[in-house]
Amino acid sequence: MNKGVIIIYVLVFGLIFLILVGGLFGFILIQLRFSAQKVAWNNALHIAEAGFNYYRWCLNNNVEGNCPTEKDYFDPGQNVVGRFSLDIAGQTACGQTIQKTITSTGWNNSFPNLKRKVKVLYARESVASFSYVLNANVWIGSDHKIRGPYHSNGGIRFDGENQSIVSSARDTWVCTSSFGCSPSQDKPGVFTTSNNANPNLFNFPVPPFDFNGITIDLAQMKIAAQASGIYLPPSTNLNPQGRGYHIKFKNNGVFEAWIITGLSATNAYSLEEGWHNDYFTITSESFYNTYTIPPECSAIFIEDNIWPEGEVKGKVSIASANLINPNLDTDTILQGNIDYTKLDGSDGLTLIGERNVLIGPQSSDQMKIRGIFIAQKGRFARNHYPNNFRNKLEIFGSIISNGRVGTKWTSNGQMVSGYSNRESYFDSNLVYSAPPFTPNINPDFKVIRWQELK
């Protein structure tokens, strides 16, 4: 009888033990599966990130057409462990990619239903990230307030007010009497003689900006403008008395093109030309045509000198360049305000001058210009017109000038012409969403915004 009781106890406790062991193993298996799911969940994010990084490589190597939108993901041992799928949307203009939005979904093959989705915005950084980019030595006067990064490939005497980095590609340079140094002397890449500047924001030497690269954009821009934008030939092709075009932007997305037939002379001086006559003041013109700026390719290429002004609607690029005659370079003359219809980032202007972008003698007393202004071979400036004084110049955007910039002239410490007050602001809205053919700081696309979607 005792043996029977013992057997019963053994069976009962054995069953209990088996139940406990089974529950324990079940709990362990559940935890293992949960851990595996957690690992797969984390891996799914890595796989999704691998997807948009892969497409970034496609973008930067210009092989998007050969890149599939769904692809296996391999571990370091070259074993397929997951897969990603890409949904691609882009903002293009004139066949150029301005921005790309990539939505990448990744999953681990062990748990294909556990998916994670990441949305990324790719764009290039344009020259609009700088308030000024120069290719020459420069002296910023004590009255000038610059609110944005400032860079020159040459040396910089910065006596104005800076609230951002002031950088030079030079370690040292020779400051001459033209920059207020008498006698000439060696100076650091960036230096100041006033209390206005913040030397803690001076940075030198840094890599130089490639001005030669802008030439390629002009040739491409002309082709695009002829194909799907707006192209205007030399004005003499349309009128034997043509001296260039007066471009009047309207706030409804159109512009008027007037052929200039008469210009009067103004006695002027510049460091590059000495004393000379500027023929910048319009005395006669004839209406030519009204153009609606095409939104799919808002590129305007004019094979002549231009006088632009008015209100710009949309993201517009306009170039003044003569690529027909290699011995003839064109100029852009600013005589009136250039503004946007909206200030929310939906409007923008890039103006490329083959040689100079100059503010004329009849410019506004209170002048306001918005945009990215590029003087490819020459300079952005206002020449010295004796006893020609103006009050205030406000620049909202960027100045890209191959030569020395100057809009105020002094002699023996006294102002003799130009603008007595100058303020420059860079436009952050155009840094990653500039008009087509705007030069970039770096040719590669980079992540501007990262977001995981639920």
Round to whole Å and give the CA distance between 28 and 30.
5
Residue 412 covered by a domain = yes
Domains contained in the chain, number: 2
Size of the chain in residues = 454
Query: Is the pTM value of this prediction over 0.85?
Result: yes
Tell me the residue type at 220.
Answer: Q
- Tell me, yes or no, whether 250 lies in a domain: yes
Q: Exposed, middle or buried: residue 31 (CB in 10 Å: 0-12, 13-18, 19+)?
A: exposed
Distance CA 265, CA 136 (A): 28
Q: Is residue 254 part of a domain?
A: yes
Q: Give the HSE-up count for residue 266: Cα atoms under 13 Å, Cβ half-sphere.
A: 22
For the chain, 454 residues long, give each residue's pLDDT as a single digit of tens: 566 667 776 666 666 766 766 666 665 666 556 566 787 788 999 999 999 999 999 999 989 888 999 999 998 888 999 999 999 998 899 988 899 999 999 999 988 988 999 999 999 999 999 999 999 999 999 999 999 999 999 999 999 999 999 999 999 999 999 999 999 999 999 999 999 999 999 999 999 988 877 777 899 999 999 999 999 999 999 999 999 999 999 999 999 999 999 999 999 999 999 999 999 999 999 999 999 999 999 999 999 999 999 999 999 999 999 999 989 999 999 999 999 999 999 999 999 999 999 999 999 999 999 999 999 999 999 999 999 999 999 999 999 999 999 999 998 889 999 999 999 999 999 999 999 999 998 889 999 999 999 8
* 99, 233: one domain: no
Residues 102 and 238 in one domain: no
- Please give the DSSP secondary-structure letter assigned to residue 406: B
273 and 383 belong to one structural domain: yes
For residues 115, 122, 295 and 424, what is the CA-based torsion angle, rounded to 10 degrees?
140
Domain co-membership, 290 together with 383: yes
Task: List the beta bridge partners of residue 274.
Answer: 270
Q: Are 388 and 293 within one domain? A: yes
The range of the structural domain enclosing residue 410 comes to 210-430
